A and B are shown apart, each in its own frame.
Chain A
């Protein structure tokens, strides 16, 4: 089960990942389409104390958003390590935004729907990983963190 990790020392804050994310989730997957449809990136880079921190849904093992969803629109797929958002069932009540411990679910007020990382589910690698010019975004198996510690 692969997850997204970030090397803070490598992130320049260029926001290529944000653009790639918006493009990947636009109808025709073009920049033009993303701009025209006002697609909100599911990832955001935050700047704090001289460093850049990319952030998107962590697909937590404990997932308060899934528990709290009053519309039954969120399901956790244990095998894929993925919180799946069923947009058909979502009513835009913002409960998931209210309970996300990372502030990683973004309210798209215009479309009245929360947007969150889906790990680009149909692709072999998330678009943000491909787009990062400095390899600050890592797409790794979970035990990768153990290796880092060593």
Chain B
């Protein structure tokens, strides 16, 4: 009988536990979380803030999950330190837990800009149920809110606050929304949708100060402009929670480095999810893809391997699906190429009247990424072509055609997973 310790109770942690239990029903599994809740759907907290999803629906797994899977769950405790030499972890209350196998799936935390007043009451990150509950407390007194950052988190929060009838302004340093997943042209579609629905976006500006006497009263922008607001939400990216390995010989860069088995450089210590850097198949380098489905995939691979399998991870890639006021958006892998880089090929449809934008990026006849706006049908097929590295030279002109569908790619695929045509 072995002892598995899982530091982290979200997507990667739960996925790993479920994978371990497919192979090993007996061994002891201890899951540790620094939050106060059983595993919940982190990506739904903006829907929760918007009032579209109740707290009961946030639960990711049924209430009896931990009992059914025979898991000891430790809540509200941070893992302070890993001791790889003695195979143990030390929790913040000095508890020590031994492990045969450890998974570090501690996730990430919001990155706060280093500006005056950032610690004032009324300034929040947006990552946890607790964040939502704290924001909720000051909503009754809030007329205007400012969201710093125009990434996925920023826009989702802005949407939620708008739904709660709060006047919402998004402050973005760059000249477009979603600059980490969309090109400028695609971002215009999303921007237009948000603005049409009453969300104000200020581009090319950073907040330089949060003004107020203890409580937030306003923010000051680079331009000197002051915007009155009692609520500021920061969506300026994340930092992987790697403090627990900083004084060990476990290798990390921005995140903890994993190999193709989701293993760190210490053989019995694995890592998965937002905290880890893994090989990105479209970038060809190590990267953090802090995304729910990626965390699930990685957790599963880690779990299987911790339970004795030798399962290789195909690598991660950036993939996002979102929706704002009826506009559906999908972004896969590489979404923008450097100007004048002729090693890539772009296929594109831009139809402003129908609110449709589609772009695919190819390199050496392989699909490496794309953006779909307004019409996201069959987007999974593009993801499959990217992941399976299918040579698409024979179907290039069909990729963005109206009748693009599974039969078009069927004969090009290397592996037929499920056969349905006879």
Contacts and interface: CB of A to CB of B under 8 A. Distances in A.
B420 A68 contact: no
Interface in B303-322: 319, 321-322
Contact of A53 (B15, B330, B379, B406): B406
A58 B380 contact: no
Nearest to A95: B321
B380 A103 contact: yes
A51 B421 CA distance: 12
Contacts of A72: 41, 59-61
A71 B321 CA distance: 13
A103 B378 contact: yes
B286 interface: no
A32 interface: no
Contacts of B328: 94, 107, 109
B386 to A, nearest CB: 11
B418 A58 contact: yes
B41 A70 contact: yes
Given A88-B57, A101-B381, A145-B422, 14 more contacts: A51-B407, A60-B418, A67-B296, A67-B297, A70-B44, A89-B57, A91-B44, A91-B52, A95-B321, A98-B321, A99-B383, A101-B417, A102-B380, A102-B418
B300 interface: yes
Contacts, number: 134
A100 B300 CA distance: 18
B330 A94 contact: yes
A109 B420 contact: no
A120 interface: no
B326 interface: yes
A47 B403 contact: yes
Nearest to A3: B420
A4 B422 contact: no
Contact of B41 (A5, A51, A71, A99): A71
A101 B409 CA distance: 11
A103 B399 CA distance: 13
Contacts of A99: 293, 319, 380, 383
Contacts of A4: 420
B422 A98 contact: no
A98 B376 contact: yes
A14 interface: no
Interface string B37-74: 00001111001000011000101110000000000000
A89 B406 CA distance: 28
B405 A55 contact: yes
Contacts of A145: 419, 422
A105 interface: yes
Contacts of B383: 98-99, 101
B348 interface: no
Interface string B340-366: 000000000000000000000000000
12 contacts: A44-B405, A53-B406, A53-B407, A58-B420, A70-B293, A71-B41, A72-B59, A95-B321, A97-B376, A98-B319, A103-B378, A109-B326
Interface of B: 11, 15, 41-44, 47, 52-53, 57, 59-61, 292-293, 296-297, 300, 319, 321-323, 326, 328, 330, 332, 376-381, 383-384, 403, 405-408, 410, 417-422
B293 A67 contact: yes
A112 interface: yes
A145 B418 CA distance: 11
Interface of A: 3-8, 44, 46-49, 51, 53, 55, 58, 60-62, 64, 67-68, 70-72, 88-89, 91-95, 97-107, 109, 112, 138, 145, 148
Contact of A93 (B319, B321, B379): B321
Given A62-B417, A71-B41, A103 B377 contact: yes
A97 B293 CA distance: 13
B408 A48 contact: yes
Nearest to A68: B293
A96 to B, nearest CB: 8
Contacts of A67: 15, 293, 296-297, 300
A60 B407 CA distance: 17
List of 7 A-B pairs having minimum Cβ-Cβ separation, nearest first: A100-B380, A103-B378, A68-B293, A48-B407, A94-B321, A46-B405, A70-B43
Contacts of A101: 380-381, 383-384, 417
A149 to B, nearest CB: 9
A88 B58 CA distance: 12
A25 B259 CA distance: 46
A55 B381 CA distance: 13
A45 to B, nearest CB: 10
A110 to B, nearest CB: 8
B41 A112 contact: no
Contact of B421 (A53, A61, A93, A109): A53
Contact of A92 (B15, B296, B323): B323
A103 to B, nearest CB: 4
Contact of B420 (A5, A44, A88): A5
Contacts of B44: 70-71, 91
